[in-house]
Chain A
Amino acid sequence: MVSEFWGLTFDGIVVGSIFALIALGYTMVYGVLRLINFAHSEIFMMGTFASLGVVLLLGFTGFEDPLPLMSFLGIFLIVILVAGIASGSAAMLLETVAYRRLRRKNASRLSSLISAIGASLFLTEVFRIMTQSLDWDFPRLISKDPIFTFSTAIVSPDKLVVILGAAISLFILDRIINKTKLGLGIRAVSQDERTSLLMGVNIDQVIRFTFLIGGVLAGVAGSFYVLFYESTKFNAGFLMGISAFTAAVLGGIGNVRGAVVGAFTLGLFQQYSAAVLGYNWKDVITYIVLVLVLLIRPTGLLGEAMQRARI
């Protein structure tokens, strides 16, 4: 453990970057709707398959030599764009089909949650049947040879792309939320839905926009996921979703910066504990962290006092 410290830390940051992008979707939707978007993990899963689809359509088979950096960046940008658009539109569609009607009817949160579970089941199963329950390998676009090593940390190009890409996405998101009018709308609705309605905020538009941003981020996360793990499956969303949700809760759900902090904390924690207890127990540890956080500090690391979750 001690000898592997730097290696684990670096990998933890890579994994944490992916968690962060997914966790933001959970936390933003929770912020405006006070609702856990249960199908968000499936939006992410669709992002991984969209990325894979683009790469396969572009004619990569996995037997090519790794691309030079510039052409890799160009191609990967297309992959990210397509995955983001696919997941973003899927998320908006999800909002329309599974949530909007219930929200208008002022239905109980239980109904929305069950509707979300239904949507999640539907998407998982559709992809299970379409992909024949197989593991789908993602062609290696960029070499995984280390650029340099720092103690036991292996710094390879794909990991750097994930970290930098996530950082850029987070920066853009921060700008959108803090500088644009729609971002202002999101912040207003998170604080007080009724008052922002009275102040002339178009709530439906804000909610749609929130789902769109969350979906795009999940799609981008999907691209990074397949780049790093080089494989995806119909149920890839489930465990990532639980981890990202844990990260969002850890940082204080509804809090955008908290989600990022929570994601990196959880990414590091998972790596360290997997090194100590064995890789098989990694997911159990995630659940235990989740349970402990919810019980001991439900407001999370950075959370303000949140309204109690009501059914």
Chain B
Amino acid sequence: MDRVKSILLFNLRERFSVWWENSSRNQRIVFRVVLIAGCYALPYLRNPIIDTPQSSFDSILFYPLVTFVILSVGLNIVVGKSGILDLGFVAFYAIGAYSMAILGTLTNLNFWEILPIGMGLAMLSGVVLGLPALRLRGDYLAIITLGFGEIVRIVAINVEITGGSQGIYGIPTPPKIFGIEFSVTNIRPYYWLMLTFVLLIIWAFLRLTVRRPGRAWEAIREDEDVAELMGVPTLKYKLWAFILGGAVGGAGGVVYASQVSTITPELFKLNVSFLILACVVFGGMGNLWGVILGAILLNYIPEKIRFLADTRIVLFGLLMVLMMNLRPNGLVPRMKREKVYDKKTGNEVLR
């Protein structure tokens, strides 16, 4: 078994972390720069190996790839980091998208002015939902969030300002920035824009997790009662996880709406919530890199193998059941740091 493991992904990960530990500061910086530059250059790296046969590679990069990466990173704060099962994450995405659609078509505000408003509204709805709901736990909380996701969609169908089931069309594109024109036909700038957001969020998330909030979230995830007893204000930190996750989802929605220019309630069905959750679970709950990998794989593979596209949700379902039964912690599970005794030296080492 260990041999199989070492041949598969696991050893790669181990090797990488050893290399990372032993590399110098300069090596790390070079690695980061190359990785980020590679991400930005992806639309130009189009070649037969990574190209998607039946759909435009640029549009795949924007949606679903980078859009689901941002949503999964947002949901990871809630589900992965703090252990709050949120089945209605699509609601925040929808609120962001509808803020962009409504404000963009009815007022003169441009994309950059609407972005903070959309994120703010998503955060506000996080408070409205979270304050009462977060006092519950586990299954109950999951059902309430699921209900919230559906309420947002049903309200969008039944209210006039959202255009009902017809939705809203003619959502404006963002204004020109750094000489880059945003237009309906050219998707690349949107990809870069969303990618920038993703990188900013990853950076902010990593800064947060090594500080007090990150530790509090992990404590809550491991055992909420113990965390509370140890003096962690659990409700406060759970609420913050909810709000920050909501803000990320809202940001994703705003960018998405400005690109597609037409949104309908159909786009925000419960399936999207489950899909985001599947990305998080598949990649490895709580491990940011695993989650990103999960989001990329689960959205890229179906495009690559287009003939499976119709049955992909079936496969997701199977995958979720199988994954939970065989590898409950995901593809790249978060590492448990624990103190162990080194057998040779007898010293305590942190692994």
With A118-B321, A280-B158 in contact, do A36 and B85 touch (Cβ < 8 Å)? no
User: How far does the Cβ of B144 sit from chain A's closest Cβ, in whole Å?
Assistant: 6
The interface-forming segment of B42-50, B128-136, B178-186, B201-209 is B128-136
Q: Quick check: is B10 within 8 A (CB to CB) of the other chain?
A: no
B325 & A311 in contact (Cβ 8 Å cutoff): no
Contact call B320/A284, Cβ cutoff below 8 A:
no
B272 at the interface (CB under 8 A from A): no
Please classify how large the interface on chain A is, using the bins under 10, 10 to 19, 20 to 34, 35 or more: 35 or more
Q: Which of B14-22, B68-76, B146-154, B340-348 contacts A (4 or more CB under 8 A)?
A: B146-154
Question: In whole angstroms, what is the CA distance A249 to B151 when docked?
Answer: 19
Q: Which of A50-58, A94-102, A196-204 contacts B (4 or more CB under 8 A)?
A: A94-102
Are B85 and A113 in contact (CB-based, < 8 A)?
yes
Q: A276 at interface (Cβ–Cβ under 8 A)?
A: no
Contact A290 B143 (CB under 8 A): yes
- Mask: chain A, 171-209; 1 = CB below 8 Å from B; 0 = not: 000000000000000000000000000000000000000
Residues in A whose Cβ lies below 8 Å from that of B321:
97-98, 115, 118-119, 122
Q: Is the CB of A294 within 8 A of B317?
A: no
CA A97 to CA B321, docked complex, whole Å: 8
> Which residues from chain A contact B281 at a C-beta distance below 8 Å?
114
Known A117-B277, A121-B320, A280-B157: A295·B132 in contact at CB below 8 Å: yes
Tell me whether B139 and A291 are in contact (CB under 8 A): no
Interface membership of B310, Cβ < 8 A: yes
| CB atoms of B139 and A125 under 8 A apart | no
What 7 additional pairs, Cβ within 8 angstroms, besides A113-B138, A114-B320? A118-B317, A121-B317, A122-B318, A122-B321, A125-B311, A291-B132, A294-B143
Task: Offer 27 A-B interface pairs, CB within 8 angstroms, sorted by A.
Answer: A36-B139, A102-B324, A102-B325, A110-B138, A114-B320, A114-B324, A115-B320, A115-B324, A117-B277, A118-B318, A118-B320, A118-B321, A119-B321, A121-B320, A123-B317, A242-B147, A280-B154, A281-B158, A284-B151, A284-B154, A287-B147, A287-B151, A290-B143, A291-B144, A294-B136, A295-B132, A310-B137
